[in-house]
Structure 1
Amino acid sequence: MTDHLGRVGSLAAILAMSTSLAAAQSSSMDDLVAAAKAEGQLTTIALPHDWCNYGEMIEGFKAKYGIQINELNPMAGSGDEIEAVKANKGNKGPQAPDVLDVGLSFGPTAKKDGLLMPYKVQTWNEIPDDAKDADGAWYGDYYGVLAFGVNTDVIKTVPQDWSDLLKDDYEGAVALAGDPRTANNAIMALYGAGLSAGAKDGKDIADKGLAFFKELNEKGNFVPVDAEAAPIAQGTTPVALNWDYNLLAMRDSMKGNPPLEVAVPSSGVVAGVYVQGISAYAPHPNAAKLWMEYLYSDEGQLTWLKGYCHPIRFNAMSKAGKIPQDLLDKLPPAENYEKAVFPSLDDQNAAKAAIADGWDKVVGAAVK
């Protein structure tokens, strides 16, 4: 009886702690909302409305919290964002960005340079460890995975894995979106092929990726043409290797003419992730924190997914049944996304250097 009563007591204590924590989080969010509203504004940079559905994201935030957003240079690149922070260290005016959305490599560098303010959102534990800074300086927001875009007017059997691309079905069909000596998405396609071949680290991944494309080229399946929308539609490059969000958007824009099917490979699923951060010199630090809470909430994550950018909490939300079926129906099967690998910067840099150096010598095909 004592044991039973002890267990009841322990359960009651746990429930009380959970209730107390929930109340504290609610109070904390109320305080943050009030502080952000008092600041009255958020300044963003490099967020074009047609990229990852940022237009809806911005309008959703404004509608929910009544805070205006000052949008700087929507077409800026990651480097431009970093320079804007550096140039406005002592400036509290409208040209100083509060928040950043940059490529993965810029996060650690910005932290090292003291440009980021650490902050951990309430859903922090659902962000994969290999896609965030342990101190909260930067954290993955959304990602794409390398996928196969297939013009099914030309190709009747859609490849399901990298090894399938070597089959006779794909003679003169497979193309990269860019030159692997310079284009990141083409480089990461080789990275995915190397992972699928069992490679473990950057240099080995590059070597196996180069070997795969050498075989693909020698077999006559590789087409050295930049796989943009026009050659895909014309049938010149009917199997295109590109980020899934690019291919899915292309599929929608084609409206079935021709039909484009997008498949995520069953192995070697490589993810390219972008990261968020708050400027260490943010004029509106509370609005910046509230923006992060919105981005990483279920609402914000699903807004990105509507734009085919996979939110960083996708796996956790999928397992919890939080993703509407109509959104899932527009995507390749979720189980392949769950295999996504987020390469470390060291592995990415090692692979990029080896691929850029080895492409001409090993594969010898000039992509035009």
Structure 2
Amino acid sequence: MYSTSEMAKKLSVSTQSLRNWDKSGKLVASRTPTNRMFYSHDQYLEASGKAKYKKTGSDVDAVSGKVVLITGGTGSLGHALSKRICGHAKKVIIFSRCELKQANMKQKFANQTNMRYLIGDIRDRERLSTALKGVDVCIHAACMKRVETCTYNPLEAIKSNIIGSTNVLEACIENKVRKTLLVSSDKACSSATLYGGTKFVAEQVFINGNNYATRDCLFTATRYGNVFASNGSVRQLFENQAKEGKVKVTHKDMTRFFMSMDDAVDLNLFALNNTIGGEIFIPKLKATTIMSFAETFAPGIPVEIIGLRGYEKIHEDLISDTEMLYTVDC
């Protein structure tokens, strides 16, 4: 947010010009409860004619020389992000609950001297506050993500995905973490499951959490579909089922969005490089039928149609009709 004098300086105009523009409707300022005028960064970009998002420099610019903390860092995305950034970041901190997964990750990255491992739970606000001291960038990937598990354990899903995300936001504001990114899901769009609902709320907490922070702390999110090589992915499921002689599909017409792990890492780093706070970065992806996916990764294996689970959608969305009104192609 910019005061009248700050905005005038950035646009190289007088404060009186800004007041005149506000009265004429050319550039209308927002107002505090005490009637002080202020402007958003979006208004500055629009008034100055500058592009919002521009891919420049290296994809690791946002983390180079920085201390980066990844919640849920022992997962597939955490491994891939660590591999990409550990040679550029000052320090990479893996924050997660499972000792065994951390021990395995330590062995995999044994030659990386700038990686640290902290046991903790995003439900524990105090532990997060301690872990985030001195952190410049936080990538929030920890969550409960299995649809059926969230449905069967709704209160636990709320504690992890909503309250846990709120804890991350508040701890980042407390520690003045410069950039914080939420890794979300296409199931948050027009959500029909409890999991999707919790991720939708987490998105809203993050993009609107900028209202609680100064310009020193930026909160943003990414939203995308299934990642080929992630733990528990449908690819792994089909390959395992193929060994047993039958692949199970919920609906023959079902489609899903898929992307590679490298593309997922690219998207998250692009978001960190380009965020001005309050966005959801969404990739352009083509939907693939589950039947085609089964034929690719379990060729020649019989398929059994088992029916939809709960409120599972046949077709996922990445952007809702309402969101299209506010979408920028970058």
* TM-score of the pair, normalised by structure 1: 0.26
Higher relative contact order (CA 8 A, sep 6+): 1
Could you say which structure has the larger radius of gyration?
1
The structure that is helix-richer by fraction is 1
* TM-score of the pair, normalised by structure 2: 0.29
